[in-house]
A and B are shown apart, each in its own frame.
Chain A
Amino acid sequence: DAKTTQPPSMDCAEGRAANLPCNHSTISGNEYVYWYRQIHSQGPQYIIHGLKNNETNEMASLIITEDRKSSTLILPHATLRDTAVYYCIVAKNAGNMLTFGGGTRLMVKP
């Protein structure tokens, strides 16, 4: 699976949009981009995934560049409960072995 690069930490003001970037320049054509988050003391939680097109669900939006070498997870109105480590993962299958990197520690501040 392709490797991803994320900033180690980010801050965001409560109520503002949180934009979390991820680089995956070696992604192959059949690999998806997955995002998970881990709130303190809990197991990782699936957020969203995409292949080529932008995706949106009740939790977040995922914007994938046209060349698929990078993506951005958007939390439109961040709340204090969104404080967590966010992992960007590239893999062929969401339900299969996933390799977690260091992720981005997002701190939402009042």
Chain B
Amino acid sequence: DAGVIQSPRHEVTEMGQEVTLRCKLISGHNSLFWYRQTMMRGLELLIYFNNNVPIDDSGMPEDRFSAKMPNASFSTLKIQPSEPRDSAVYFCASSFLGTDNSPLHFGNGTRLTVT
């Protein structure tokens, strides 16, 4: 298994532009988590989905952020319009939530720089 795949690995954009981050879950996993990591705030959970349904989006900073799961294996996190304070590393993680305790598997992140 290739693990959780995120793209792009690096994204540099100008303030005001739309940014779309992508994530492919591990096959068979049914839960998807988006985290953001900065030096100041560490790893923060933004939103998580179970069986394609958003369960908790209380960590999403504001309306400029939106996340979707168009199918069971893929997710996008969109920022529109982007701002310099959105600069961070964004991680996607997946797991299987069921009767067994499956740990979170993380991708290697997308480093976003907004100038």
Contact = CB atoms under 8 A, between A and B. Distances in A.
Interface of A: 32, 34, 36, 41-46, 49, 93-102
A95 B101 contact: yes
Contacts of A34: 103
Contacts, number: 56
Interface residues of B, number: 23
A100 to B, nearest CB: 4
Contacts of A97: 33, 45, 48, 56
Interface of B: 4, 31, 33, 35, 42-43, 45, 48, 56, 91, 93, 95-97, 101-109
B108 A46 contact: no
- Which are the 7 A-B pairs with shortest beta-carbon distances? A43-B106, A95-B95, A46-B103, A100-B43, A95-B102, A94-B103, A94-B101
Contact of A93 (B45, B93, B97, B108): B97
Given A94-B101, A94-B104, A96-B31, A43 B4 contact: yes
